[in-house]
A and B are shown apart, each in its own frame.
Chain A
Amino acid sequence: MRNLILILQAYQKFFFFLVLEIICITVFIRNNNYQFQSYLHSARGMSGSLYAKKNKYTSYLSLAEKNKALLTENAKLRSKMGIKIKSNPLKDSSFSRVIKNDSVKETIYYNYIPARVLDNSFDKKNNFITLNIGRNKGVKKNMIVVGPKGIVGKITHVSNKYSLAASILSNEFSVSSVTPEGTTSTVKWGGIKDPYYAVLSGIPQSEKLKKGDTVLTSSYSRFPPNIMIGKVVKKRKGGANSGNNYIIKLGTNFKKLDFVYVVVDDINLEREVLQDSVKAIENE
């Protein structure tokens, strides 16, 4: 015992270092996975408000570019909306009514909450985006974030005024996708380390994708269907057993992310409740 104390005294500095280092690394490992990050995040008030202040002063620098992006998106939205006029009442008689051709198709209207990106990263293993809206605007955990040019990520933490989204540039983030021919597969970013590209995996040998084919989200995941993910660039070597892998260029430019939309999706919430109840029954 006496010897132990002597050793501890002799290597006091080293043990002090060891204790601190072990504590830090334990905290790091426990929070390595982005689903388990529970504290110390920039959705919190202090760092969130600092980022908001920074954004206030730096946002002037690229106004022209942002205006242009907003204009193009506005135009796109307006063209989708169309203009409604009163139809001729004389036409609307039971004799001339025809069945619409696309009656099998159905339009889903989502609500979008516009948000501004306060902080963003893409050089880490798991990357996060801080948004300037939070619980006060109705943001909830697991809501989907999309940008004007494609998918962005998923909300992981919400505070009163700010929220944090894991972007698709995260190691374990995968998105269910669909190719032009209708094959569903997954898109992942892990292992690419380039914020412009991602990997589309599990395409069967029989299907040959061309350069420039668009990959959209499928309706299997939480993402709203038919939202742009990216375009096929080239085939990736290896991975022949479970199908071919392709490299796709992401639609969203994560280096210039500025305005995004948080998708309010009541249908999905209902679906999740149902799926959870099924899981609960299976567990019994």
Chain B
Amino acid sequence: MNKFVYYIGQFLFVILFQTLLLNDMAINDSITFLGIPSFIPLLFPVLILLLPIRVNYYLMMLYALVIGIVLDIFSNTPGMHASALILLAFLRPRLLRLFFQQDEKKLGWARPTVYRLGFMPFLFYICFSILIHHLFYFLLQEWSLSNILYTLYKTLVSGILTVIMILIGQFVFYSRPKFV
């Protein structure tokens, strides 16, 4: 029950943070960075990435679908967020196996946080997942390969911002466990 409340809270917090604050960042402030007119960090993949390591696969896919639909309602893009998140959810067990092969049994139901996994492995895991998600997301949004360089640029800038935000979130919301 406690865990259920925790995930509902996380879900609401991230969705509201993304739709009301981050999506607005590009609108209200005139930030320009290296010639890119507008870019925003996409924080919502964190909801999938920080699920417990041994979570049920089907449950995770449906969760990704729900997050995607909610975000699509807010940004008038039916199917776009949902398909990117479903791809991420499908690849997540493989990415975890790629980076933490030996520890998977030991970690069990733990959430993949920076303290449990160590800084560098966590950073690789996050960077790789975010790169895949953002690339797919922006390719879908552009729906053409004609300005592939622009898409890659956008992916990179937005991805770096997202990774920085996730790391900050790790240090703010999780405390170092007493004994590991």
Contacts and interface: CB of A to CB of B under 8 A. Distances in A.
Interface in A219-264: 255-256
B147 to A, nearest CB: 8
A194 to B, nearest CB: 5
B83 A193 contact: no
Taking residues whose C-beta sits less than 8 angstroms from the other chain, chain B's interface range is 35 or more
B6 interface: no
B2 interface: no
Interface residues of A, number: 40
A19 to B, nearest CB: 10
Contacts, number: 99
Contact of A47 (B40, B61, B74): B74
A121 B23 CA distance: 8
Interface of A: 13-14, 16-17, 20-21, 24-29, 31-32, 37, 39-42, 44, 46-47, 50, 54, 58, 62, 120-125, 128, 164, 193-196, 255-256
Contacts of A124: 75, 77, 141
Interface majority SS on B: helix, strand, loop or mixed?
helix
Contacts of A125: 141-143
B61 A16 contact: yes
**Max chain A CB contacts within 10 Å: which of B39, B69, B77?**
B77
A40 B143 contact: no
Contacts of A24: 65, 68, 79, 82-83, 86
Given A20-B86, A42-B74, A123-B37, 15 more contacts: A14-B90, A16-B61, A17-B89, A21-B83, A24-B79, A28-B140, A31-B79, A32-B143, A42-B75, A121-B23, A121-B75, A122-B37, A123-B38, A123-B40, A125-B141
